[in-house]
Amino acid sequence: MQNLTRFVGFSNESVLIQALKNGDELAVEYWFKKYRLTLTKIALSKVPNSTVAAEIVQETFIDCLQTLNLFKGQSSLLTWMQSVMRHEIADYYRKRYAKKVIQTIPLSDLLLEQSYKDAASSAELVTVVLKRMIKKNRELLLKKYVDCKKVKDIALETGASVKAVESDLFRARQEFKTLWLELGVEYGGR
């Protein structure tokens, strides 16, 4: 841990919280130095790389500072900060999932040719298309493009040959494309 001796008095959590609420710059510096490494270690265990972890930790500090007046002191400051960080991590994965759904489907060029309001509305449309698909085709696309399974693994799992799975995937993609185009018209050409 870093040398925090110049931050006299802030080792008392209630003093630190009050100083943070009052906008004391020294308190903010102490707070950041004291908790950054702990939060970074936790974030690294939850996200894919150190760059993302650093961004999440930074957003956590910003969110905590902006919402510090909501902190009631019913838990330790660190516990509250970890709770805020869990929400940041969840937001990161929600955004990542929405993008992944669009980008991993082999029809992404078709999807991206059209104009969409945001990733969430696109993900919603993908969900509607998937729900309208034949169950077998829907499950096959989900295994391949969401679960990232290889054709060979799907074949082993289903007891079909690799060629049969490849054919089924082709038909499933065709069904997806057809339904997508129909829904694009139905939903006002989004």
Whole-angstrom distance, CA of residue 88 vs CA of residue 61: 11
- Span 108-130, mean pLDDT? 64
119 contacts 98 by C-beta, under 8 angstroms: yes
- Nearest in space to 57 (alpha carbons), one of 77, 41, 76: 41
Predicted local distance difference test score (pLDDT) of residue 103: 53
- Span 77-94, mean pLDDT? 90
Q: Which residue has the higher pLDDT, 1 or 22?
A: 22
What's the CATH class of domain 13-99? mainly alpha
| Residues of each domain in the chain carrying CATH 1.10.1740.10 | 13-99
Predicted local distance difference test score (pLDDT) of residue 11: 83
Q: pLDDT tier at 190 (50, 70, 90 boundaries)?
A: very low
Whole-angstrom distance, CA of residue 61 vs CA of residue 78: 11
155 contacts 161 by C-beta, under 8 angstroms: yes
Q: Decide: residue 65, CB within 10 A, 0-12 exposed, 13-18 middle, 19+ buried.
A: middle
Q: Is the pLDDT of residue 34 over 90?
A: yes
Whole-angstrom distance, CA of residue 53 vs CA of residue 48: 8
Q: What CATH number does the domain located at 105-186 have?
A: 1.10.10.10
- Nearest in space to 68 (alpha carbons), one of 37, 34, 33, 31: 31
pLDDT tens digits for 47-70? 989 999 999 999 999 999 989 988
